[in-house]
């Protein structure tokens, strides 16, 4: 029970295939007390159904929170403070870009689409961290986690606007780690391999990326939701008490491969 006694807020559960849900399930297994945010009523229904499968929706705190609204962010964390008084872990799993700005050529990305992807996918981490930090200080520090993808360093066709947003997100991890570190708040990112998620379905060719990971990664297999959840448990636990400012790859080693090795027949 690596997270027994810890309290975690998870932002971004869309459905059972969400990486956020994989992290939530792993946290629950390790004894963490959980709270969740949801963007709208439709996603709340999905979340409630999932929570019913791990003890019932009444056992968990849930809060509406559209991260593009400063008012909703403030209300969410105020309600969390009233309920718990402190926070140990914030899990940020929020990303969005207009489908058109993922499918059109990169140089034709719209100004509005660029701004939207950065606002929802990257700025939201800064805003959430600003609200979470005072609650973490109450208990001597904490851990902030977010999700990225290696399209930041490698060109991935169809990732376009989201690649730019994830690049900003990774820079934020380093700056937040430096600023919040003196308060014993750690900030890290997990760069997961391509999974079959709702967000991933918007990226053209994502199924081929999953196949390619299984074909040429050092481990010769793709990853699972559970494996990402286990790494998140480590980062949220006291085992990672000296780990901050990092992007940790959970991709079967795919990120180290340059030109795929061609096996002689």
Q: Is residue 213 part of a domain?
A: yes
On whether residue 256 sits in a domain, the answer given is: no
Structural domains counted in the chain: 1
How much is the pLDDT for 208? 73
Q: Determine, yes or no, domain membership for 253.
A: no
Residue 2 lies in a domain: no
> pTM score, two decimals?
0.92
pLDDT at 258: 78
Structural domain contains residue 262: no
Positions of the chain with pLDDT under 50 = 262-265
Would you say residue 178 lies in a domain?
Answer: yes
Give domain status of residue 127, yes or no: yes
Output the domain CATH number for residue 93. Answer: 3.40.50.720
Note the pLDDT of residue 58: 84
Catalytic residues: 149, 159
What pLDDT sits at residue 157? 82
Summarised one tens digit per residue, pLDDT across range 85-123 is: 999 999 999 999 998 988 899 999 999 999 999 999 999
Domain annotation covers residue 11: yes
pLDDT reported for residue 265? 36
pLDDT of amino acid 248: 98
Give the domain extent around 94: 7-247
* Amino acid 259: pLDDT: 61
The pLDDT score that the predictor gives to residue 205 is 55
pLDDT at 190: 98
Query: What residues form DSSP beta bridges with 248?
Result: 190
């Amino acid at each position: 029970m690596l997270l027994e006694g810890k309290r975690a807020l998870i932002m971004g559960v869309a459905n059972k295939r969400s990486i956020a849900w994989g992290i939530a399930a792993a946290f629950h297994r390790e004894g963490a007390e959980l709270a969740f945010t949801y963007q709208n009523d439709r996603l709340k229904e999905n979340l409630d159904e999932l929570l019913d499968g791990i003890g019932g929706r009444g056992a968990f705190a849930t809060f509406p929170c559209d991260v593009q609204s400063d008012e909703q962010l403030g209300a969410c964390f105020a309600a969390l403070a009233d309920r718990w008084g402190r926070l140990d872990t914030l899990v940020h799993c929020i990303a969005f870009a207009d489908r058109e700005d993922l499918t059109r050529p990169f140089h034709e990305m719209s100004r509005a689409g660029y701004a939207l992807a950065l606002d929802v996918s990257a700025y939201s981490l800064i805003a959430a961290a600003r609200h979470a930090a005072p609650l973490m200080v109450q208990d001597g520090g904490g851990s902030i986690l977010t999700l990225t993808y290696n399209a930041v360093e490698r060109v991935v066709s169809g990732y376009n606007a989201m690649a730019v947003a994830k690049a900003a997100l990774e820079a934020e991890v380093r700056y937040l780690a430096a600023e919040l570190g003196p308060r014993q708040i750690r900030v890290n990112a997990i760069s997961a391999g391509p999974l079959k998620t709702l967000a991933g379905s918007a990226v053209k060719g994502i199924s081929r990326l999953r196949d390619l990971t299984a074909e040429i990664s050092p481990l010769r297999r793709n990853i699972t939701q559970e494996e990402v959840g286990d790494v998140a448990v480590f980062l949220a636990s006291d085992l990672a008490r000296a780990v901050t400012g990092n992007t940790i790859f959970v991709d079967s080693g795919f990120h180290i491969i340059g030109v795929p090795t061609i096996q002689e027949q």
